[in-house]
Amino acid sequence: MNRIETLKSRWRPEWSERSDLAKLNGSFQKSLHFIESLPTHRAKISGPGTLSPKGINETVRAAAAKDIVPDLRRASWEAEKATNSIKNQKLALAVPKPDKTDIAGAILRQEIRTMLRGLDHGDRVRLVMTDPEFLAASFEGPAALSGMTPEFRADLQRRMIEEKHGPAIEAMKETEEAIAVATAAIEMAVGTVRTECGFGDGPDFQFDRWMATASAAVEQEIAAEKAKMEKPATTEIVTRSSGKDLASDIDKMFAGLETYQFIDGKLTSVETQAAA
């Protein structure tokens, strides 16, 4: 099984039927096409023997800059947007922070935390998991104020998220898998461009600069799109006494995914790691 067949086998058929993955699917399919078509194009123009190695490289680069690199940049942008969407969905699962302007509510939550500290472990957990007011109070301020350790509170939150949002979490994991496969195809296509355009093992800055120039127009499109996009409205995260925010706990359920994005014209691998 060659590398293209391996990528194709990793893309699940049902992903192609999902409307929310339509653009990502398009990016994946285009990347596979470029992996195959660019070597074929180079072989075709090399066949007659009328061009020097330099002439072949220049011809292939011109074709790639016009018809391939811009689409690869758009593909990476689609993967980046899909990744950001998943990130915001994860944050939306977090326990929302209480309204700090609600003085009466703050006093009530303080009383609740005092009560929680005086309960035995079982009653404390039962109230936190069944009563929204006790839940909000227990996730405000240091965990010790509610009679908990930071580690236990983090574990409690993960269990609550899994119980309440199990199907949503599974759907997000599947989407992340699709993103990983698509970005692997994009990275492979970029590697093919580098090789077939004659950059080979040359200095990275030469290839990076060429890629940046070839995708400059697309960068302007993306900048305009970003300017129009509204700032994602994500749930405010409760800060624990350990100084780590709730988002890092959620990420532990999704650790291990690699994503890729263009940085100065280069498709760069970014590994999402859970907080220690």
Q: Examine residue 237 and state whether it is found in any structural domain, yes or no.
A: yes
Predicted pLDDT at 202: 74
Secondary structure class of 49 (helix, strand, coil): coil
Predicted confidence at residue 230, as pLDDT, reads 66
pTM for the predicted model, two decimal places: 0.70
Domain membership flag for residue 134: no
Could you give the CA distance from residue 146 to residue 123 in angstroms, rounded to a whole number? 12
What domain range is 46 assigned to? 3-96+151-271
Is position 138 within any domain? no
Residue 18 lies in a domain: yes
* pLDDT score of 231: 60
Please name the residues in contact with 47: beta carbons below 8 A apart, sequence gap of 6 or more: none
Q: Is residue 145 part of a domain?
A: no
Pairing of strands 258-263, 266-271: antiparallel
Cα–Cα distance for residue pair 65/218, rounded to 1 Å = 12
pLDDT the model gives residue 248: 55
Q: How many domains does the chain have?
A: 1
pLDDT value at position 114? 95
Classify residue 59: in a domain, yes or no.
yes
pLDDT of residue 264: 45
Which parts of the chain register pLDDT below 70? 1, 96, 230-276
- Are 79 and 261 in contact by the 8 Å Cβ rule? The answer is yes
- Report if residue 115 sits inside a domain: no
